[in-house]
Amino acid sequence: MSQNFPPFDETLRALEASICTQFGVENLFVGEALGRFLAVDIVAVENNPTHETASMDGYAIAFSDQDLGKLHVNAFVPAGSETTGVVAQGQCVKTFTGTLMSEGTDTLIPIENVEVEGESIRITTPVFKGHAVRPVGENYKAGEVLIQKGTKIGFAEIGVMAELGMVQVEVFMRPRIAILSTGNEILDFGEVKTSHAQIRSSNHVTVEAILRQMGCETMRFKLIRDERDVIEQQLRQALMWSDIVVTTGGGSVGDFDYLQSILTDMKIQNIIDGSYMKPGRHIRVVKTGHKYIYALPGFPYSASVCTFLFIAPLFRKMRSQKFALPTIKAKMGEFYKKRSKFVEFTACNLRFCEGELVVDLKGKKEGSSAILNNLLDKPSLLRVEKDVLKIEKGEMVDVVLLDV
């Protein structure tokens, strides 16, 4: 593998350029589509409301009659009932929240604004023309694109689709991802430590959790020891089941780092072979058919950050979203000294302070890419360019948001 790492943005561009398909599409019942991504634009088929509708309980009147002061109540129309005929001068209709406005009326006088006198009302507090009347198309007009393809379906999307009378909705299929973590030193849940040289594996579950958060179906393989044949055989198995295989560990230059040579020997299309960044400079991404293999670094901070920076954009593009992760500008809340020559992604806190978005590193530890606990407390990533050596307090910085 090359040690001349290509620029970070170039590697991302190569990844974007390699994407030539979108995820498949399936039909789901609207009520079960929460958290899925729309594969079509949702367009209003009719105006909502379709007719002028009262938004309070009261009396539908013609505004021009308000000055008469006293009006005869000639009909009573609860919500859900059709209106009855045209309202003549001097008349009004008892109307409820959600009732259609009767023909000939344009204004709703709330019950609080009148005194009832037998079959008439006396207006005690007049209102403006059109008061408490929801106009036709107040919510949306026929033909309006209400929700764009690629949108993640949340409560409001489900409600609006129900309002539109949709039963089923086309959503992108969930990508299937296999996760293979390798290493002689790593132990799975429940495995008993027999040596101080062993550590508990976290990558297999953090990467899986991030991918699930992103809406994937995941398959977490049994941890694999540093045995070339076994790694290769499991990798091939994983490729059969999944759209994307993610491996962690064994990807750099050590004697037991077999992943790189396995991928090279597979003679498949190289998309990314290292990236001038920290963490993650040994990242390797290859493609076979429409399937991708991501070899992520073993360090836990690196593996998680690379999952966000390189896998999330792929998914985004395959779901009709913008490829790039959302990045914002914020003000640096403290002095920052960069430790490497690479483009750096540092876990940071992003807070609102006196009306401004401010970045700080409170509670974040300095050290290697091993520090997974720096990703606790819903951080964002401070992006610092390769030639920048320090950032003064008050400077504006780029922050990558991880809410993807």
Ligand X SMILES: Nc1nc2c(c(=O)[nH]1)N[C@H]1C(S)=C(S)[C@@H](COP(=O)(O)OP(=O)(O)OC[C@H]3O[C@@H](n4cnc5c(N)ncnc54)[C@H](O)[C@@H]3O)O[C@H]1N2
The binding site for ligand X (CB under 6 A) comprises 181, 183, 185-186, 199, 201-204, 248-254, 257, 279, 281-282, 297-300, 302, 369-370
Find the shortest distance in angstroms from Cβ 268 to ligand MOO.
22
Residues 353-391: b if buried by 16+ CB within 10 A, e if exposed: eeeebbbbbeebeeeebebbebbeeebbbbbbebeeeeb
By CB under 6 A, residue 49 contacts ligand MOO: no
Q: How far apart are CA 401 and CA 383, in angstroms?
A: 10
Find the shortest distance in angstroms from Cβ 207 to ligand X.
9
CA 32-35-40 angle, 5° bins? 80
Find the shortest distance in angstroms from Cβ 299 to ligand MOO.
5
Cα torsion at 206, 212, 216, 221 (round to 10°)?
A: 40
CA 209-195-228 angle, 5° bins? 65
Contacts to ligand MOO from residues 357-376, by CB under 6 A = 369
Find the shortest distance in angstroms from Cβ 251 to ligand MOO.
9
Distance set, CA 231 to CA 188, 237, 262, 315, 359 (Å): 16, 10, 8, 25, 41
Is the CB of residue 352 less than 8 Å from the CB of residue 358? Answer: yes
Contact map string, positions 281 to 300, toward ligand MOO, x by CB under 6 A: xx--------------x-x-
| Residue with Cβ nearer ligand MOO (71 or 295) | 295
Instruction: Report residue 267 CA to chain centroid gap.
Output: 35
Tell me which of ligand X, ligand MOO, none is bound by residue 251, counting a contact when its beta carbon lies within the kind-specific cut-off of 5 to 8 angstroms: ligand X
By CB under 6 A, residue 94 contacts ligand MOO: no
Tell me which of ligand MOO, ligand X, none is bound by residue 7, counting a contact when its beta carbon lies within the kind-specific cut-off of 5 to 8 angstroms: none
Tokens 């059709």: give the residue.
82
| Residue with Cβ nearer ligand X (59 or 258) | 258
| Residue with Cβ nearer ligand X (220 or 331) | 220
Q: How far apart are CA 300 and CA 332, in angstroms?
A: 26
Find the shortest distance in angstroms from Cβ 10 to ligand MOO.
17
Tell me which of ligand X, ligand MOO, none is bound by residue 94, counting a contact when its beta carbon lies within the kind-specific cut-off of 5 to 8 angstroms: none
Q: How far apart are CA 156 and CA 33, in angstroms?
A: 12
Tokens 């670094």: give the residue.
297
Is the CB of residue 164 less than 8 Å from the CB of residue 42? Answer: yes
By CB under 6 A, residue 181 contacts ligand MOO: no
Tell me which of ligand X, ligand MOO, none is bound by residue 113, counting a contact when its beta carbon lies within the kind-specific cut-off of 5 to 8 angstroms: none
Find the shortest distance in angstroms from Cβ 347 to ligand MOO.
13
Q: Which two tokens stand for residue 358?
A: 């401010």
Tell me which of ligand MOO, ligand X, none is bound by residue 364, counting a contact when its beta carbon lies within the kind-specific cut-off of 5 to 8 angstroms: none
Find the shortest distance in angstroms from Cβ 235 to ligand X.
15
Binding site for ligand MOO (CB under 6 A): 278-282, 297, 299, 302, 369
